[in-house]
Amino acid sequence: MQTIKTDQAPPAVGFYSQGIEVDGLIFFSGQIGFTPRGEFVGGSVEDQTVQVLKNLDGLLNGSDLNRKNVVKCTIFLQDINDFEKVNTLYAGFFHEHLPARSCVEVAAIPKGALVEIEMIAKR
Protein backbone atom coordinates (compact mmCIF):
# COMPACT_ATOMS: atom_id res chain seq x y z
CA MET A 1 0.00 0.00 0.00
CA GLN A 2 1.34 3.41 -0.99
CA THR A 3 0.13 6.90 -0.06
CA ILE A 4 -0.34 9.35 -2.93
CA LYS A 5 0.94 12.86 -2.30
CA THR A 6 1.36 15.57 -4.93
CA ASP A 7 1.58 19.35 -4.96
CA GLN A 8 -0.46 19.39 -8.19
CA ALA A 9 -3.70 19.15 -6.18
CA PRO A 10 -4.86 20.60 -2.85
CA PRO A 11 -3.21 18.99 0.17
CA ALA A 12 -5.23 16.82 2.51
CA VAL A 13 -6.43 19.08 5.32
CA GLY A 14 -7.80 16.44 7.64
CA PHE A 15 -7.20 12.88 8.68
CA TYR A 16 -7.01 11.46 5.17
CA SER A 17 -4.62 11.33 2.22
CA GLN A 18 -4.96 12.55 -1.35
CA GLY A 19 -5.03 8.93 -2.40
CA ILE A 20 -4.01 5.37 -1.60
CA GLU A 21 -2.66 2.82 -4.06
CA VAL A 22 -3.30 -0.86 -3.44
CA ASP A 23 -2.40 -3.55 -5.98
CA GLY A 24 -2.45 -1.11 -8.91
CA LEU A 25 -5.76 0.49 -7.93
CA ILE A 26 -5.61 4.11 -6.80
CA PHE A 27 -8.43 5.45 -4.65
CA PHE A 28 -8.36 9.25 -4.76
CA SER A 29 -10.10 11.32 -2.10
CA GLY A 30 -12.92 13.59 -3.16
CA GLN A 31 -11.96 16.96 -4.57
CA ILE A 32 -13.80 20.23 -4.02
CA GLY A 33 -13.08 23.66 -5.48
CA PHE A 34 -9.79 24.40 -3.75
CA THR A 35 -6.68 25.34 -5.71
CA PRO A 36 -3.46 23.41 -5.03
CA ARG A 37 -2.48 26.37 -2.79
CA GLY A 38 -5.59 25.78 -0.68
CA GLU A 39 -7.66 28.75 -1.86
CA PHE A 40 -11.39 28.10 -2.31
CA VAL A 41 -12.64 29.27 -5.72
CA GLY A 42 -16.22 29.65 -4.49
CA GLY A 43 -18.58 31.15 -7.01
CA SER A 44 -20.84 29.10 -9.22
CA VAL A 45 -21.09 25.33 -9.52
CA GLU A 46 -19.40 25.71 -12.92
CA ASP A 47 -16.43 27.57 -11.42
CA GLN A 48 -16.07 24.93 -8.71
CA THR A 49 -16.43 22.05 -11.17
CA VAL A 50 -13.69 23.45 -13.41
CA GLN A 51 -11.35 23.60 -10.40
CA VAL A 52 -12.34 20.11 -9.26
CA LEU A 53 -11.52 18.73 -12.71
CA LYS A 54 -8.15 20.53 -12.65
CA ASN A 55 -7.51 18.91 -9.27
CA LEU A 56 -8.37 15.47 -10.65
CA ASP A 57 -5.87 16.04 -13.46
CA GLY A 58 -3.30 17.12 -10.87
CA LEU A 59 -3.81 13.95 -8.87
CA LEU A 60 -3.48 11.82 -11.99
CA ASN A 61 -0.42 13.67 -13.30
CA GLY A 62 1.21 13.57 -9.88
CA SER A 63 0.73 9.79 -9.89
CA ASP A 64 2.09 9.28 -13.44
CA LEU A 65 -1.42 8.49 -14.70
CA ASN A 66 -3.86 10.10 -17.10
CA ARG A 67 -7.62 10.23 -17.64
CA LYS A 68 -7.61 6.91 -19.50
CA ASN A 69 -6.55 5.22 -16.23
CA VAL A 70 -9.77 6.30 -14.47
CA VAL A 71 -12.25 3.47 -13.96
CA LYS A 72 -14.89 5.09 -11.69
CA CYS A 73 -15.96 8.53 -10.51
CA THR A 74 -18.53 9.55 -7.96
CA ILE A 75 -20.03 13.03 -8.14
CA PHE A 76 -21.64 14.58 -5.07
CA LEU A 77 -23.89 17.59 -5.67
CA GLN A 78 -25.32 20.00 -3.14
CA ASP A 79 -28.27 20.44 -5.52
CA ILE A 80 -29.21 17.78 -8.08
CA ASN A 81 -30.63 20.59 -10.24
CA ASP A 82 -26.98 21.43 -11.04
CA PHE A 83 -26.54 18.04 -12.72
CA GLU A 84 -26.68 19.31 -16.32
CA LYS A 85 -24.16 22.09 -15.65
CA VAL A 86 -21.70 19.68 -14.02
CA ASN A 87 -22.38 16.94 -16.56
CA THR A 88 -21.53 19.27 -19.47
CA LEU A 89 -18.12 20.09 -17.97
CA TYR A 90 -17.53 16.47 -16.98
CA ALA A 91 -18.36 15.34 -20.53
CA GLY A 92 -15.70 17.68 -21.88
CA PHE A 93 -13.18 16.28 -19.42
CA PHE A 94 -13.88 12.61 -20.16
CA HIS A 95 -14.94 12.92 -23.80
CA GLU A 96 -12.53 10.24 -25.12
CA HIS A 97 -12.71 7.76 -22.24
CA LEU A 98 -15.87 7.18 -20.22
CA PRO A 99 -15.31 5.68 -16.77
CA ALA A 100 -18.17 4.26 -14.73
CA ARG A 101 -19.92 6.98 -12.72
CA SER A 102 -22.44 7.68 -10.00
CA CYS A 103 -23.97 11.05 -9.17
CA VAL A 104 -25.92 11.80 -6.02
CA GLU A 105 -27.36 14.78 -4.20
CA VAL A 106 -26.10 15.13 -0.64
CA ALA A 107 -27.25 17.20 2.32
CA ALA A 108 -23.97 19.10 2.59
CA ILE A 109 -20.40 19.14 1.28
CA PRO A 110 -17.50 20.40 3.43
CA LYS A 111 -16.68 24.11 3.28
CA GLY A 112 -20.03 24.85 1.67
CA ALA A 113 -18.87 23.44 -1.67
CA LEU A 114 -21.46 22.82 -4.37
CA VAL A 115 -19.73 19.83 -5.98
CA GLU A 116 -17.25 17.12 -4.99
CA ILE A 117 -15.82 14.39 -7.21
CA GLU A 118 -13.84 11.33 -6.16
CA MET A 119 -12.24 8.82 -8.50
CA ILE A 120 -10.67 5.40 -8.72
CA ALA A 121 -7.92 4.70 -11.25
CA LYS A 122 -6.01 1.60 -12.35
CA ARG A 123 -2.29 1.67 -13.05
**Active site amino acids:** 103
SS3 category, 91: helix
Closest CA to 117 of 31, 49, 48, 40: 31
End-to-end CA distance of the chain: 13
Between the alpha carbon of residue 93 and those of residues 4, 54, 112, the distances in Å are 22, 9, 24
